[in-house]
Each structure stands twice: as C-alpha cells, then as structure tokens.
Structure 1
Amino acid sequence: MLGLIADIVSWLLIVTGALACVISGYGMLRMPDLYSRIHAASVADTGGMLLILIGLMFQAGLGLTTAKLVLIVVFLLITSPTATHALARAARQDGVRPASEKRARR
C-alpha cells in the first residue's frame, strides 16, 4: 500500500514538473522581450526540474541513486540562476533594453 502511494505521489510530481517545463517553453515564445523570456525560462524550468527530480527520488527510494539526484539538484540550483543572471547582465551591457523602458521613452 505504501509503495502505491509513493508511486502516485512520484508520478504526480513528475507530470507536474513536465507541465511546468512545457509552460516555460510556451512563455519563452509569448513574452515580449529578452528579459521576460529569461524570467519565464529560469523560474518555470527550475521549478519543473525540482518537481521532476523530487518525483524521481520518490521512485528511487533511499540509496545511492537518491544521493546522486540530490547532488544534481544542488548543482542545477547553483548553475541555473547564475547562467540566467550572466545572460541578462550581458544583454544589458550590450544595450538591450526592456520592453517597458522602450515604451517609456516614446
């Protein structure tokens, strides 16, 4: 019985995380400027990644596989926001303006 509950929780987390990643991809297509697209991608993908990996941890149980998944989560939680920040900063230094700032200048 406990295994069935763990499987249900696991699959709910995995499906919810996959849905968050798909919504993130759609948000990247629909947002008006680079900064909004970066925000949509980073927030939803990080959340989706967390949900998927937590779901996989439920599937794996306690053991070496779960420890490896925890290390992957830590690595991605460090690198994803750092890469997003570096991309936004590089765009700003290159002169890319946010859409709201472009509208204010008119």
Structure 2
Amino acid sequence: MPLYLEIIICVSLLIGGVFLLIGSYGLARLPDIYMRLHSPTKASTLGITGVLIASMILQSHLQGFLSIKELLITLFLLITAPVAANMIAKTALHYRTKPINETQGDDLMEAIRDRKSPKQPPEA
C-alpha cells in the first residue's frame, strides 16, 4: 500500500477517534439532557464518518474499485443522527424535563412545547 494512502487512513482514523472520545466524554460529563444531546450527535456524525472514510479508502484500495458501502452508511448516519437528536429533544420537552439553572432561553421552552411562536419584542 502506498505511503500517502496509509497517512490519509491514519489521519482519518485519528480524527474520527478524537471526535468519538470527546463525544463520549461529553456524554458522561454534561449536566442535563439538552446539553448531552449535542455531544453524541457530533460524535456519531463526525467520529463515525472519519472511521468510515478510512475504511472506504482502505477497501477501495484492496478491491481495486470504489467501495460505496461505507459511503452509504456515512450518508445514512449524517441524515439520521440529527433527526434522532431532534426527536429526543422534543420528547424531553414533552415530558417537561427541566434544564439546569444556567440555561439561557429556558423561558422559551413553554412556547416551543405548545408550538407557539415566541413573543416578539416591540419595535422602537
């Protein structure tokens, strides 16, 4: 295998691994569900994408033609991970899960829950 392919694969695996590690750490350390949603969503989209791109490059080199299985998995994850995070956030709002006290904009949660538009400030 050429050296440049090995370097690209290693860099892609390292980037993916770093995002997965940071995402796992954030999932364990962040205080409430609304903050915890951000961490695994980024980990799954960016981390797994890095690993799958490395796998796609390696398999394409070994097979002699473009391996699209990994590309299809990556596209599926890029589409479904944000949608799943949105559904989890809506469920937390529906069950009236309280955010931590330092959360900004928590007064808008009732409007979001009831699907109202937030009150606009009067124009001067």
TM range (shorter): 0.7 to 0.9
**Which structure carries more relative contact order (alpha carbon 8 Å, separation 6+)?**
1
TM, length-normalised to structure 2 = 0.73
Which structure has more helix as a fraction of its residues?
1
Q: Which moved more, 1:53-62 or 1:69-78?
A: 53-62
Shift of 1:15: 2.0
> Where has structure 1 moved over 4 Å in runs of 4 or more?
none
Is 1:53 matched up with 2:55? Answer: no
Gaps of 5+ in 2: 108-124
Shift of 1:27: 0.5
CA distance in 2, matches of 1:7, 1:70: 19
Secondary structure at the counterpart of residue 43 of structure 1: helix
TM, length-normalised to structure 1 = 0.84
Cα deviations by residue, 1:38-77 (Å, 9 ceiling, x for unpaired)? 111101321111111111122122636x211111111111
Q: 2:119 aligns to what?
A: none
- Taking only aligned residues, the RMSD between alpha carbons, in angstroms, comes to 2.2
Alignment of 1:1-106 (within 5 A): 3-61=2-60, 63=65, 66-99=67-100, 100=103
Aligned sequence identity (%): 32
